[in-house]
Structures are given as C-alpha cells and as structure tokens.
Amino acid sequence: MARDGGKGEGEKLRRLPPGRHGLSREFVTQNQRERLIAGSIAAVAERGFRETTVTEISAAAGVSRRTFYAYFQTKEECFLATFDLLEEHLFAAIAAAAAAKPSWTEQVRARVEAMLGLFGENPDLVRFALVAPPAAGGPVLERNRSLLERLVGELAAGAPQGRGFAEPTEVEREAMAGAVAAVLAGKVEAGSDKLSEASPELVELVLAPVVGRRRAATAAAKS
C-alpha cells in the first residue's frame, strides 16, 4: 500500500531524547502509551491488523517490546485502545465544529469538514479505522462498525423535524454508514490529498434522507 511520507501520528510524536530529559514520570508514561498507539496506526495502515506484530508496533513507536507489554497485554488490546483514542478525538472535533452554526445544514457541513480535516492530516487513521478492519474480523470489525454507526448519528445530529424533513429510517442510516465509509476509503486510496474533495458528496449523503435528494444536492453544491 502506498504510504504518504511522514504526516502520520508516528512521525509527529517523535522519539524522546535518551537520558535525563527532565520530564515528569507521568508525562513520559502518557507519552509512551500515545506513541504505541501512534505506532499501531502506522503499522496497521501499512500491513493490516492480522499481519502487524507487537515488534512492528514497538519499532514504529520507537520503544522496546518490553515497554509495549508494560502498557498492553496483547496487540488487540493496543488496537482497541487506539479506537478509543480515535473516537474520543473524532467526536470531540465533530461536536466542536457544529457549535454556533446557524442552521442544521451548516452544522452538517462543518462536521463533515472537521472530520475531513482530521483524516486529511492523518490518512493512516482512515486506513486503520475504515479500510483495514473488514479483513481482520472479530472485535476490530465490531469496533469499526460501532464507530461508523455512531459517526453517521453524530454527523446528522439535531436534524429539524416537521414539514419538509423526514426522520431517516434504520435502513437509510445503515446504508448511509456504509456509503460514508466507502467514500472516505475511496478518497484515501486515490491519494490522501483527495480527502478534502469529499465534502459535497458526504454532505449530500447525510442530508438526503432528511430533506430529499434534490434539496440535499442543492445544499451540498453550495459548499
């Protein structure tokens, strides 16, 4: 898989200088755990969940295998911790973006763009959370599915009710979740700089079940 050079979390969280660095123990601890999480993202994006080993995660994180086992008992535990941290950041970014937007359409647009901004800076996150899980199956796939279900819920949150607005059915929400994942995965595979182009398509996807296809397309084209 083609890797884009150097914007992943792994490179951002550089290796701590050895020896006495004057950092508190809590800071180093937090830092090592986050580096292992960053390492798991980089390793999985390149190799997939099943092929990735604890050695590779540790190497990508710039720590020893012993350090890995100080934080996680298995690679699966590390993967699930990565999903936790990703969800926390993603949903915080989405919620923050919608604040103070005057209309629901504007909120949806802002949320989609916040999500694309986060994924655009770290396309490996899309590979980790959306592209690689189906081949992994098991708990990783379950996390991928629950993340997507929550994602479409959060993107569409606060839809107006009443005349001209429909409540999306369960079938529509499920179809939307799969479609959102496909759009994001498709853009990342086409080149990570393409993610920002996905905004109108995603806005239309989220709006369509509520306001109808035609109004959704018109509103999405304005972005």
Contact with another protein (CB under 8 A) among 36, 43, 118, 177: 177
Cβ 43 to another protein shortest distance, Å: 19
Considering only residues 32 to 51 of the shown chain, the ones binding another protein according to CB under 8 A are none
Phi/psi region, residue 168 (left: phi>0; alpha: psi -120 to 50; beta: rest), is: beta
Choice between 64 and 218, CB closer to another protein: 218
Alpha carbon 96 to chain centroid distance? 16
- The DSSP letter of residue 10 is H
Cβ 90 to another protein shortest distance, Å: 19
Cβ 45 to another protein shortest distance, Å: 17
Q: Is the dihedral of CA 29, 138, 9, 51 positive or negative?
A: positive
Give the C-alpha separation, 122 to 119, whole Å: 5
Cα–Cα distances in angstroms (integers) from residue 47 to residues 91, 131, 135, in the given order: 26, 11, 11
Residue with tokens 């969280």: 13
Choice between 61 and 176, CB closer to another protein: 176
Contact with another protein (CB under 8 A) among 59, 81, 157, 175: 175
Pattern 85-124, another protein, x by CB under 8 A: ----------------------------------------
Identify the three-state secondary structure at position 199: helix
- Count of alpha carbons within 13 angstroms of residue 23, beta-carbon side: 13
Pattern 194-213, another protein, x by CB under 8 A: ------xx--xx--x---xx
Cβ 21 to another protein shortest distance, Å: 43
Give the C-alpha separation, 25 to 157, whole Å: 40
Residues at the contact surface with another protein, assessed by CB under 8 A: 134-137, 145, 148, 169, 171-172, 174-183, 186, 200-201, 204-205, 208, 212-214, 217
